[in-house]
Copies of this chain bind each other. A is one copy, B any other.
Amino acid sequence: MKVILASKSPRRKELLQTIFKDFECIPSQKEEKIDKKLNYKKMAEKLSEQKAEDVFLQTTGDRLVVGSDTMVVLNKKIYGKPKDEADAYKMLKSLSGKTHIVVTGICLIKEENGISQKICTNVVSKVTFEKLTDEEINSYISSGEPMDKAGSYGIQGTFRKHIKNINGDFFAVMGLPVNKTYELCKKLNVI
């Protein structure tokens, strides 16, 4: 079956390669709409569903579409991608020395012989940063790494020296809950 990842993130692509050798990447062009009444888990799930659905509707034939969304949350506040370097500084300063939550939504939509099936869920992880000095924050920002990442950091890059602890799914924090995706793929009989 044709597999489509509804993302252009190189991290998600690398992670999905653990499950599928060949797939296409088609990012969703739709603007993300968040229903603010939802809790964080359902919000991340809904956003992954929106991405998967948008790409599903643009494509045809027997196929599996995989959508995922990652959200960083601290004290009920959502940290998205930074607008600029000053915003990245503010986020990293807030996350410094604390444990925050990373919610990753995952949605799979499959169509086979005209029958479509959708399955969505979410994975929650907790990540603890060591206390960062201003020098460390600025040095990381000047690497350019924070700019395309929720919460202004990537757990897998040079920032890993500042990660004190993770409790959950490391790969979900990176962008795709690999074990959960694998489990859902088995449930949908696509592997």
Chain A positions near chain B (C-beta within 8 angstroms): 15, 18-19, 130, 155, 158, 160-171, 178-179, 181-183
Contact = CB atoms under 8 A, between A and B. Distances in A.
A169 B161 contact: no
Copies of this chain per assembly: 2
Contact of A163 (B160, B163, B169, B181): B169
Given A130-B183, A179-B130, A183-B130, A166 B169 contact: yes
14 contacts: A15-B160, A18-B160, A160-B171, A161-B179, A161-B181, A161-B182, A163-B169, A164-B169, A165-B169, A166-B167, A166-B169, A167-B167, A167-B168, A170-B170
Closest 8 CB pairs of A and B: A161-B182, A167-B167, A170-B170, A18-B161, A161-B178, A160-B178, A164-B179, A18-B160
A141 to B, nearest CB: 17
A124 B30 CA distance: 43
Contacts of A161: 18-19, 178-179, 181-182
A157 to B, nearest CB: 8
Contacts of A18: 158, 160-161
Nearest to A128: B179
A161 B14 CA distance: 12
A8 to B, nearest CB: 21
A7 to B, nearest CB: 18
B166 A166 contact: yes
A166 B160 contact: no
Nearest to A133: B186
Contacts of A181: 161
A103 to B, nearest CB: 15
